[in-house]
Amino acid sequence: MPYRDLREFLKKLEKEGEVLKIEPEVDLKYEVGAVCRLALDRGGEERNKALYFSRIKGNSYPIVVNLLATRKRYCLALECSADEVHREWIRRTQKPLAPELVKDGPCKEVVRVGKDVNLFQLPIPWWNSLDGGYYITFPCYISKDPETGIRNAGMYRTMIHDEKTLGILAAPYRHVRHHFEKAHAQGKPFPVAIAIGLDPSLYIATVAPFPFGEDEVAMAGALRGAPVQMVPCETIPLEVPACAEVVIEGEIPPDVMREEGPFGEFTGYYGDRAPRPVIQVKAITHRKDLIYQASYEGLPHHETCVVSGISNEAELLRQIPLPGIQKVHFTSAGGGYLHAVVSVKKAYDGYGKMVGLAALGTTAGRTVKIVTVVDDDIDPNDLAQVNWAVTMRTRVDRGLEIIKDLSANVLDPTMTLHEKRLGSRTDKLIIDATKPLLEPLAPECLPHAEIMEQVTRNRHKYGIE
């Protein structure tokens, strides 16, 4: 049974012992971020908890963060096991399920329009010390293509400029940007809705790198196995998920820019400050007792490593056109975006590099900087094995390929400011760590197989558990 909303998912996580309630009063400025940092550092990739801040200084609403910051919780969201999550993704996304339009929903319990709009009524934290302001970190932006009317849902960092104005960073390859550039070319303001606090499948689809023209809300329906219910907005011609805790309605005007950033990013570095588009907020609707949902971004490990990592893996597997691909892993150190490890049953020499090229050619590959290709005896999820293969199997003269001047992840911290402003291009690296077939390496060494098996069976005799 799919989760109806954020609350049902929270209940499930509480039952599983996955939520830590933070009872002391916390300050939105710096303290929420510091507690998140501590919890992620102490819990690491696998044992960090979702956090529920119940008392916020100067605000009556609670905050939940990091709900999808472990693979276990992500799989609870999709109701499948970690082993089958990629296969399930590919199976379920074959049939997008169009949303269902309904008249009313809990996201309309409170409606504030025009002069009653005040973004500071929401409990939005200031996360890292050098951030340019308070940031919405888990927004689901909904918009429609001005030419085709096809819907998009995506996630883009969002700064509070003032009570009624937001700033957005959307990389040149992001779909909302394709949309608003079309509207602005005609001199028109562009309507967007931002939904916050959602059933997890909606968030998972929002973050995923589906190809342009794919409606992520219909993909969320496919992933959860039931259509998403949508209600019309109050002030703009869009629909939003009825289940949302909060909805912000607004417009991106043409020719208005304001300084946005810096922001402590998923890479562990600050993203820069520069003039960027704004959203003029026309309405805020929310539940009476809203729960505000957010994500801490910064040094890995954090939620993006998982929520972007798994969808990047699944879409890479879904889109790559080559046979023999076994497993894909987007590492946490790469923030779920910059480093992909692909294992392959190699068909012939040179195939490793082909796999690397094909991986970079998928929509998930666009934001990858390093692709490591390993043989099928290496588990991409086991980074010690991957490191061994890279060190022992890679011929540096043949196995490394640098591809110059590709469209980069705009947040790659190694680009100079000048390079970022020039249009964000960077070099990418394929590491082919697969063994050669025609001139094989010496055999790998292990003790005698039969004796090894015997010793393993009788391990207690040797005091080894």
Ligand X SMILES: Cc1cc2nc3c(=O)[nH]c(=O)nc-3n(C[C@H](O)[C@H](O)[C@H](O)COP(=O)(O)O)c2cc1C
Q: Which residues are catalytic?
A: 265
CB of 144 to ligand X, least distance (A): 12
Give the sign of the dihedral formed by CA 262, CA 248, CA 154, CA 29. Answer: positive
Q: Does 218 bind ligand X (CB under 6 A)?
A: no
Distance between CA atoms of residues 416 and 393, nearest Å: 33
- Measure the CA angle with vertex 150, ends 276 and 172; round to 5°: 30
Nearer to ligand X among residue 166 and residue 389 (C-beta): 166
Question: Number of residues in contact with Mn ion, rule: CB under 5 A?
Answer: 2
Structure-block tokens of residue 132: 């340019």
By CB under 6 A, tell whether 282 contacts ligand X. no
Q: Which residues pair with 283 in a beta bridge?
A: 113, 249
Q: Which residue has the CB atom at the shortest distance from ligand X?
A: 154
Name the residue nearer to Mn ion (CB basis): 93 or 152. 152
Q: Which of 71, 175, 287, 346 binds Mn ion (CB under 5 A)?
A: 175
| Alpha carbons 460 and 465: distance in angstroms, whole number | 6
Binding partner of residue 304 among Mn ion, ligand X, none, CB cut-off 5 to 8 Å per kind = ligand X
As measured in angstroms, the least distance from the Cβ of 455 to ligand X is 46
**Start-to-end CA span in the chain (Å):** 40
Smaller CB separation from Mn ion, 209 or 250: 209
**Stretch of 5-13, 115-123, 170-178, 280-288 contacting ligand X, by CB under 6 A:** 170-178
- DSSP string across 300-368: SSSHHHHHHHHHHHHHHHHH---TTEEEEEE-TTTTTTSEEEEEE---STTHHHHHHHHHHTSTTGGG-
Q: What 3-state DSSP class applies to 20?
A: strand
Q: CB of 398: closest distance to ligand X in angstroms?
A: 34
Binding residue for ligand X, selected from 122, 169, 236, 240, defined by CB under 6 A: 169
Residue 315 has phi, psi (to 5 degrees) of -70, -35
Q: 175 vs 393, which CB is nearer to Mn ion? A: 175
Based on the shown chain and the rule CB under 6 A, indicate whether residue 409 belongs to the binding site for ligand X: no
278 binds ligand X (CB under 6 A): no
The verdict on 175 binding ligand X (CB under 6 A) reads yes
Kindly write out the interface string for residues 222-261 of this chain, putting x where it contacts Mn ion by CB under 5 A and - elsewhere: ----------------------------------------
User: Could you check whether the bond before residue 184 is cis, i.e. omega within 30 degrees of 0?
Assistant: no
Token look-up 């570095």 returns 269
List residues near ligand X by CB under 6 A. Answer: 137-138, 152, 154-157, 169-171, 174-176, 207-209, 295, 297, 304, 307-308
